[in-house]
Homo-oligomer: A and B are copies of this chain.
Amino acid sequence: MSVQERKERERAHRERLIVATARELAEQQGWDAVTTRRLAERIEYSQPVLYSHFRGKREIIGAVALEGATELAAAVRAATSAADGPRAKVTALAHAYLDFATDNPAVYDAIFQLDGGLAFAREDTPEPLKDAFAALLETLAVVAGDGVHPGLFTEVFWAALHGLATLTRVGRLPPAEAGRRVELLVDRLAIV
């Protein structure tokens, strides 16, 4: 029994190692550099080992995405709970979200841009993703305004943040005035 448990622990440990290494490599050199060969070399195992943990590369991306979604939710909650008043909370949320995208571009891509084989906006959506949306909803529902469905409002606000995050990061928007864009967005969208 104990033997089997030890093996399972080792397996779980190696699986975390794979995900962490993939994430690290992606942040360092971009997802294009995350090949199964390079990944295998970094964890000091052969390629096929990866396939005993994950069905394929997309599942590895998906695992990084789930890990990232959990962190994103935590970052958003930490920022909002540290702020006082609805207006300040929303601003803090926006900055926390955009900072996360800036600081973890590869993880952000894994969550929202790449195909990690994850289901969104459905019943079988993985918990971390639902929870990340919930983290946004908690704060944004307060400022949705009368007669506006909180979920719908959150979707729109989130989409705006997502647009700012992605367009800024690929150079479509000059990063200099990021702060003023957030200010404008919060000013107009949130009803305090």
Residues of A within 8 A of B (CB): 112-113, 119-121, 148, 152-153, 155-156, 158-164, 166-167, 170-174, 177, 180-181, 184-185, 188-189
Docked Cα-Cα span, A62 to B121, in Å, equals 32
Given contacts A112-B172, A152-B177, A161-B163, 12 further A-B contacts (CB under 8 A): A112-B170, A119-B171, A120-B173, A153-B184, A158-B163, A159-B163, A159-B164, A159-B173, A162-B163, A163-B163, A166-B166, A188-B189
Is B156 a contact of A121 with CB atoms below 8 Å? no
Copies in the complex: 2
Most chain B beta carbons < 10 A, residue from A113, A172, A174: A172
Most chain B beta carbons < 10 A, residue from A113, A120, A162: A162
A-B pairs with beta carbons under 8 Å apart, 13 shown? A112-B166, A113-B113, A120-B170, A152-B181, A152-B184, A155-B167, A155-B173, A156-B160, A156-B164, A156-B185, A159-B160, A159-B167, A162-B167
Is B184 a contact of A120 with CB atoms below 8 Å? no
Is A120 a contact of B172 with CB atoms below 8 Å? yes
A156 touches which of B113, B153, B166, B184 (Cβ 8 Å): B184
